[in-house]
């Protein structure tokens, strides 16, 4: 298929109707590929004994990139969870930032090597520091959004959690606040059907997380996390609502979990081979790649270019992060309370 | 200098800080229309409006968690818990989040939130409206805990807490709200978080107390002074971080230590004071370090006879002083 | 209106269609009047300086009596909150039991004088001990219901809370559990529009508590708490669902708060005279009385008989409770852990 | 007598109690299909089914609250918290409800619930998978707290906890699960909740520890014995209610006390031990009561150099022993 036809196709393409340029969707694909590449790199490093622990988001990247796409990278806030690698990359963290955390280096922007890998945070790009207790981030996002509304900064806040996390009382309390004050906050739920080994039917009464939003007087929508453009469409709509002062939206993205919960888990112990296999068909990297290929945007050459760029960036990031210094032992005494610098 | 009730000093501190800094907001149950169940926030809603004076939903974990988020985005929130007994649902947000945010982010994010809680035993407040919670929180690094016992300190420490870059748990003893009056310096009166203060100098023994117990202790000290026992009473008004020097200096002077607290004895805050003295002032001691504290039952019972059985008062303190002085 | 017509009317009367006998509804009216009378007595005793504190439920009695009516008094469980006087009376506590708590006597079955008034509990009639922290009782009711289902005892569990209490994380967590395991539990919410001074619109995002049940996959219904028979109808239906193993129901009863929050509160400081006045028209004692009178069941004579009986029982209870001994000081050391006897 | 790993002893205790009493159930995250993230509950689901082995929703407050209700209606629930760090959301249910139900109901209702929590620092577990939580809960009257340090005690105390009529917080040190092996008596092996035990008799000083610290302490004691310092090591395996007699008897014998715990020093559990000794054994003491504990920072940092800076180990303990012995 020649470039001419490709162009012709894309004008009518779905992404165009959503206001996304070819450039946009190729960049979105790049981020998904980058996050996936980083992911694989981290597991390889862990298996090689160079990292103690990995928790990442294979299968979650599509909806994360799509949901982050409408956000103002510099001005809006993001309150992540441990699977939010792709979202954090789009928001402005670099592969080096991520790997500095994996190696727990002194220059890790998330925590200076103080937290386990996957606990992202970055003041400059307005990503709030992540902790481990599931659910606590939802009220934080609400507080940030309340401040934005009171101070009239126009900031939108997005936060993310998994399906299991929605069982926490904090999530209910946060959504209730956001509904009462019609706050500019997007509640993302990345539903991969499991909380470690606990399946959705033992986690979510009624089976629909999005359905709960109605109980708080704001919209809840479900989108297939493999359908990146659909995820973008609902996220963009939610973002615009927030911007217009019409309050929060709950965005439930159904995604496959393309690996074990973390490097400490073996999903084969509680999931069937068939189920794990079936999930591969829902891989957003594959599905979105197929879409771009189908409309002639992702040519074999472009695919190779992107793959090369991703590999180069990850190699460079790995070297930079490995070379970075460990924190000084005595530095552990610092920052219990405020200190200059 | 004006004479104020404890509750009025707290109310004044709110009004002054709200006027000084528009980033200051308050969220809590009934803090708006009602002005707080004890009146601590009276008049704020009328002056500063619903945006800054927030009648929060009945959900303490979110009161703490939302405050943390507000602080991350430029506000200076005061989170009021209606009773210290009801701070427990917020334990995770305060201990895992507020106290750890700066440390875990390597100083990238701070958490300038004041957590206010009316605390301690009063008359007829029973198991769930009388709890002493300081031991749980003073043990948490990254969190400051203050417990002023005078109107001047209540005002000065609250204003200092609002301006502190880190989370502060501010404990207001319910018993003092209307009972305790005192001179409060005019103007922008601040009391630094940290220093303890000697309320009554003495030679024979050092008595360490805070909150309402300080007042019972001063009464007891007056009683026994007539008997020739000269008690030094130290007000540990900041529980964490502790002013070790003032504690150790006093023991070095009197060579005897009595620690009084109304919380359950086992593992209470006074245990840390006793442990500190036993390790750092051992060679100064002429007698055992004595603790006088609440019995180890799950709460203060309601019925008067039971409440009196539980409560530490000037009489029980005077007896403990005599016992220690005689050792 | 003569007895003949009265009889004639009642055969067609609403309560008959609901399967309630004339005897039933007169007894229901008696319980509402008894609870109200006790209520007034407690406030009088508090004003007279004979009680330190009162918290009660004027306006809530109708829905409480109606919701408890289908329950098996001996076999089913009740997990109350501090307004549940009428419900506890129907379940089997006596006016003396209630007043022994008010006076904090040694023989108070709820706590032996250890808790504040209004913290009901009674092992023999299966009323779980009440604490003060709002919301904690919901998970307890779920645990009781889980045990009932596992042990196949056929017990139904009812619990109650106010509108403000629904904001607590525990309430969400409890309803999620109940939905997942389809437990035989009735979640009652007595919505009086206020949490002390905080109005519903600052408390409940979306405005409907009943609507939240859908998010957990079970029915939520609203009923006017002044319409005792409608409350009974929905409660009976919910009870039957639970009995049939079809899971929980959320019952939201909208009720007037016919007094201040407690003896420590002055509602005039945050509610208008008109609003407080308007509430009186919704008094279930009045409304239900009018219904019974309208159908000729509650004749002037019967009304006088019931009033006399209520007064007599409350007078006797007051004397008995006042005469009861205070707890021994040293007894406060007991029952930190299990003790025989 | 069989040699078992700590984790296997705990797993056995579950299996035996489930077989003995059909009222025993367990609820927690991943306790079913996965058998627990550490394998403590492996095999239970297959044997006893989903009714009694419950993969709970991810909501700790309800895990505690639902267990309390189950206990009220005739079950004997074990509530597992995946990590002690995540027990915090359940603080209110455990402290306000479980610990107070019997007292507040004047013995009408009890709360026979076992709260299990893998706790303490291990390698690379960082701020949120390494916390010491014992100080928070040992302070709560109405709650029992145990922290076994051997497989035999782990099995015997867990079985005793399941049969106890009151709530028990059962702390399992993660570091021991696979590292610590030991002989476990066959049959229905029970260890009573309460008594401490002397693990190593000695003349020169008494070292009090529990959990993983006990093993580091024993190593340190072996090291210094070569130097002629004879340390008595006491395993405080029940933290509350505390066996005061064993503690005081040991100090009366050695006249020196060293308390080791890995939790933050200020207000930690060791403070109560030190305070007890300073009050009850003062005249037995030849030297200050020394505490060796974790620094007062909000958590154990992840990076190895930082983790080592924080952690108490045999080397630091040996130094403390030498220091105290020399006083
Ligand atoms: C309060 C709390 N409880 C338990 C854990 C342990 N834990 C970490 S992730 C996880 C499962 C989360 O599942 P889900 O929310 O669906 O997110 P997913 O990992 O599937 O993306 C659990 C139980 C925790 N981190 N915090
Ligand atoms: C956890 C907790 N927070 C705060 C309180 C103080 N308090 C007692 S009742 C109440 C209001 C409850 O309102 P609602 O649930 O609507 O019940 P109502 O009193 O209106 O019947 C509050 C804030 C409490 N008892 N427990
Ligand atoms: Mg999941
Ligand atoms: Mg209400």
Residue by residue, DSSP assigns D272-318 as HHHHHHHHHSGGG-SSPPEEEEE-SSSS--SSHHHHHHH---HHHHH
> Which ligand 1 atom is the nearest neighbour of the CA of A83?
21
Candidate list D15, D123, D129, D215, residue with the active-site label: D129
pLDDT per residue as tens digits for the range A198-220 = 999 999 999 999 999 999 999 99
Strands C194-195 and C198-199: antiparallel
Residue C261 beta carbon below 6 angstroms from any ligand 2 atom: yes
Mean residue pLDDT across chain D = 98
Give the C-alpha separation, D170 to D148, whole Å: 8
In what helix (H) or strand (E) does residue A8 lie, and over which residues does it extend? helix A3-12
Interface test with C, best of A134, A171, A206, A247 (most C CBs within 10 A): A206
Q: How far apart are CA D86 and CA B91, in angstroms?
A: 11
Looking at chain A, which residue has its C-alpha nearest residue D85? A133
pTM summary value: 0.98
Interior/surface letters B290-320, b for 16+ CB within 10 angstroms, e for the rest: bbbbbbbbbbbbbbbbbbebbbbebeebbeb
C199: exposed, middle or buried (Cβ count in 10 Å: 0-12, 13-18, 19+): middle
- Crossing angle between the packed helical segments C169-180 and D60-72, to the nearest 10 degrees: 70
Neighbours, chain C (3 or more CB pairs < 8 A) = A, B, D
Ligand 4 centroid to Cα of residue B186, in Å, is 41
Residue C217 to residue A201, Cβ atoms within 8 A? no
**Active-site residue, D15 included:** no
Q: How many whole angstroms from B319 Cα to the centroid of ligand 4?
A: 47
Q: Ligand 2 pocket check: which of C164, C191, C198 to mutate, most ligand atoms within 8 Å of Cβ?
A: C164
pLDDT at A340 (0 to 100): 83
Torsion angle defined by CA atoms of residues A99, A105, A106 and A112, in that order, rounded to the nearest 10 degrees: 60
Report chain C residues whose CB lies below 8 A from the CB of A178: 205
Name the helix (H) or strand (E) containing A143. Answer: helix A137-150
8 A C-beta contact, residue D124 and residue D213: no
Contacts of C113 in chain B (CB under 8 A): 301-303, 306
CA distance C124 to chain D (A): 9
DSSP 3-state assignment of B145? strand
Q: With contact defined as beta carbons under 8 Å apart, do B217 and B207 qualify? A: yes
Closest ligand by atom to B81 CA: 2
Residue B269: exposure state from Cβ atoms within 10 A (0-12, 13-18, ≥19): buried
How far is B12 from chain D, CA to nearest CA, in Å?
A: 32
Q: Please answer yes or no on whether B25 and A150 come within 8 Å at the CB atom.
A: yes
Q: What DSSP line would sit under B41-70, residue for residue?
A: TTTHHHHHHHHHEEE--S-HHHHHHHHHHH
Q: What are the residues facing A221 on neighbouring strands?
A: A251
Q: Do B58 and C270 touch (CB under 8 A)?
A: no
Q: Chain D: nearest CA to B128, how far in angstroms? A: 8
* Residue among B58, B123, B309 whose CB faces C164 most closely: B58
Residue C132: phi, psi to the nearest 5?
-90, -35
pLDDT tens for residues C15-48? 999 999 999 999 999 999 999 999 999 999 999 9
**Pairing mode, if any, of strands A77-79 and A157-162?**
parallel
Q: Do A115 and B104 touch (CB under 8 A)?
A: yes
Give the N- to C-terminal CA distance of chain D in Å, as an integer.
43
Residue of A nearest to C171 (CA): A169
Q: Which residues of A touch C211 (CB under 8 A)?
A: 214-215
Contacting residues of A for B113, CB less than 8 Å apart: none
Which residue minimizes the CA distance to atom 6 of ligand 1?
A: D82
Low-confidence ranges of chain C (pLDDT < 70): 1-11, 341
CB distance D272 to D289 below 8 Å: no
Q: Which of B127, B128, B141 sits opposite D297 (nearest CB)?
A: B141
Q: Is B113 helix (H, G, I), strand (E, B) or coil?
A: coil
Instruction: Quote the CA–CA distance of C3 and C6 in Å, as a whole number.
Output: 5
**Candidates A15, A122, A233, A257; catalytic one:** A257
A22-57 pLDDT per residue, tens = 999 999 999 999 999 999 999 999 999 999 999 999
Extract the tokens encoding D295.
């620094």
Distance in Å, CA A246 to ligand 4 centroid: 28
Closest to B74 (Cα-Cα) out of A247, A145, A186: A145
Three-state SS annotation for B221-269: HHHHHCCCCCEEEEECCEEECCCHHHHHHHHHHHCCEEEEEEEECCCCH
Nearest-atom index, ligand 1, CA of A196:
11
Contact B293, B323 (CB under 8 A): no
Distance CA C156, CA B213 (A): 48
Residue with token string 């009216």:
C29
Query: Catalytic site residues of C?
Result: 257, 261, 270
pLDDT tens sequence for chain B (327 residues): 899 999 999 999 999 999 999 999 999 999 999 999 999 999 999 999 999 999 999 999 999 999 999 999 999 999 999 999 999 999 999 999 999 999 999 999 999 999 999 999 999 999 999 999 999 999 999 999 999 999 999 999 999 999 999 999 999 999 999 999 999 999 999 999 999 999 999 999 999 999 999 999 999 999 999 999 999 999 999 999 999 999 999 999 999 999 999 999 999 999 999 999 999 999 999 999 999 999 999 999 999 999 999 999 999 999 999 999 999
Instruction: Spot the catalytic one: B14, B129, B173, B189.
Output: B129
Residue C286 and residue C69 in contact, taking contact as beta carbons nearer than 8 Å: no
- The first and second tokens of residue D198, run together, are 């002397």
C-alpha span between B72 and A141 (Å, rounded): 10
Whether A4 shows a pLDDT value over 60: the answer reads no
Q: Is A132 touching ligand 1 by the criterion CB < 6 Å?
A: yes
D33, A169: Cβ pair inside 8 Å?
Answer: no
Q: Which chains have 3+ CB pairs within 8 A of A?
A: B, C, D
Cβ neighbourhood burial of B261 (10 Å; 0-12, 13-18, 19+) = buried
Q: Residue D119 pLDDT > 80, yes or no?
A: yes
- From chain A, which residues contact D within 8 Å (Cβ)? 52-53, 104-106, 111, 113-116, 131-135, 164-165, 167-170, 195-198, 202-203, 264-265, 269-270, 326-333, 336
- Candidates A172, A182, A261, A303; catalytic one: A261
Token digits of residue D283: 């005249």
* Active-site entry in A14, A114, A172, A270: A270
Check: CB of residue A292 under 8 Å from CB of residue A303.
Answer: no
Q: At D166, is the secondary structure helix, strand, or coil?
A: coil
Is the CB–ligand 2 distance for residue B177 below 6 Å? Answer: no
- What integer is the mean pLDDT of D124-149? 97
CA of A16 to the centre of ligand 3 (A): 32
CA angle C68, C69, C75 (to 5 degrees): 70
When CB atoms are compared, the residue of C179, C206, C218 closest to A216 is: C206
How far apart (Å, rounded) are the C-alpha atoms in residues A13 and A230?
Answer: 13
Q: How far away, in angstroms, is C191 Cα from ligand 4 center?
A: 5
Instruction: Count the neighbouring beta carbons within 10 Å of the beta carbon of residue A98.
Output: 28
* Residue B30 Cα to ligand 2 middle (Å): 10
Q: Which residues, 6+ apart, have CB-to-CB distance to C48 below 8 Å?
A: none
Q: Alpha-carbon distance B291 to B256, whole Å?
A: 12
Cβ pair C214:A206 closer than 8 A: yes
How far is C-alpha B256 from the geometric centre of its chain's CA atoms? 24
CA of C267 to nearest chain A CA: how many angstroms apart? Answer: 23
Among residues D120, D186, D127, D128, the alpha carbon closest in space to that of D147 is found at D120
CB atoms closer than 10 angstroms to residue D315: 12
């Amino acid at each position: 298929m020649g470039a001419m036809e490709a162009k012709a196709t894309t004008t009518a393409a779905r992404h165009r109707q959503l206001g996304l340029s070819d450039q946009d969707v190729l960049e979105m694909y790049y981020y998904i590929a980058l996050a996936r590449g980083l992911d694989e790199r981290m597991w390889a490093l862990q298996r090689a004994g160079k990292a103690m622990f990995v928790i990442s988001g294979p299968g979650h990247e599509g909806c994360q990139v799509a949901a982050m796409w409408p956000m103002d990278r510099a001005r809006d806030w993001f309150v992540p969870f441990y699977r939010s690698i792709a979202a954090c990359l789009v928001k402005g963290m670099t592969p080096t930032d991520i790997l500095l955390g994996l190696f727990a280096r002194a220059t890790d922007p998330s925590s200076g090597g103080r937290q386990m890998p996957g606990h992202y945070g970055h003041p400059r790009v307005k990503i709030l520091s992540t902790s481990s207790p599931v659910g606590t981030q939802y009220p934080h996002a609400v507080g940030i959004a309340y401040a934005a509304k009171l101070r009239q900064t126009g900031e939108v806040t997005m936060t993310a959690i998994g399906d299991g996390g929605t069982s926490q009382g904090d999530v209910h309390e946060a959504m209730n606040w956001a509904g009462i004050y019609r706050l500019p906050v997007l509640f993302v739920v990345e539903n991969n059907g499991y909380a470690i080994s606990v399946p959705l039917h033992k986690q979510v009464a009624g089976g629909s997380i999005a359905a709960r939003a109605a109980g708080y007087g704001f919209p809840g929508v479900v989108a297939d996390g493999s359908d990146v453009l659909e995820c973008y469409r609902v996220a963009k709509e939610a973002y615009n609502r927030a911007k217009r002062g019409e309050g929060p939206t709950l965005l439930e993205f159904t995604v496959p979990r393309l690996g074990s919960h973390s490097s400490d888990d073996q999903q084969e112990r509680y999931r069937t081979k068939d189920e794990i296999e079936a999930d591969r068909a829902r891989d957003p990297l594959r599905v979105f790649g197929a879409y771009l290929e189908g409309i002639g945007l992702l040519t074999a050459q472009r695919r190779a270019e992107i793959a090369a760029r991703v590999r180069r960036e990850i190699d460079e990031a790995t070297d930079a992060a490995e070379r970075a210094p460990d924190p000084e032992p005595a530095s552990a005494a610092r920052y219990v309370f405020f200190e200059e610098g | 200098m004006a004479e104020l009730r404890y509750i009025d000093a707290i109310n004044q501190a709110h009004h002054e800080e709200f006027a000084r800094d528009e980033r200051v907001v308050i969220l809590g149950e009934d803090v708006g229309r009602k002005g707080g169940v004890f009146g601590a926030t009276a008049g704020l809603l009328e002056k500063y409006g619903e945006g800054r004076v927030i009648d929060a939903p009945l959900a303490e974990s979110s009161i703490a968690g939302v405050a943390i988020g507000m602080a991350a985005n430029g506000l200076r929130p005061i989170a009021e818990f209606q009773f210290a007994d009801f701070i427990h649902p917020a334990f995770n947000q305060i201990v895992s989040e507020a106290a750890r945010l700066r440390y875990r982010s390597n100083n990238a994010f701070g958490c300038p939130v004041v957590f206010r809680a009316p605390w301690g035993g009063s008359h007829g407040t029973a198991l769930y409206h009388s709890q002493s919670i300081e031991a749980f929180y003073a043990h948490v690094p990254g969190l400051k805990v203050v417990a002023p016992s005078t109107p001047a300190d209540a005002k000065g420490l609250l204003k200092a807490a609002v301006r502190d870059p880190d989370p502060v748990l501010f404990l207001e003893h319910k018993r003092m709200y209307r009972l305790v009056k005192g001179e409060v310096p005019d103007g922008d009166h601040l009391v630094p978080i940290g220093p303890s203060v000697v309320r009554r100098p003495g030679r024979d023994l050092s008595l360490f107390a805070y909150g309402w117990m300080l007042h019972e202790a001063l009464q007891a000290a007056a009683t026994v002074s007539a008997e020739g026992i000269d008690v030094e009473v130290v007000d540990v008004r900041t529980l964490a971080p502790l002013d070790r020097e003032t504690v150790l200096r006093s023991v070095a002077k009197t060579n005897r230590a009595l620690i009084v607290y109304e919380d359950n004895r086992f593992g209470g805050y006074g245990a840390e004071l006793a442990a500190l003295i036993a390790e750092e002032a051992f060679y100064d001691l002429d007698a055992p370090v004595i603790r006088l504290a609440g019995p180890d039952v799950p709460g203060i019972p309601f019925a008067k006879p039971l409440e009196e059985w539980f409560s530490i008062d000037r009489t029980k303190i005077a007896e403990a002083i005599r016992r220690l002085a005689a050792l």
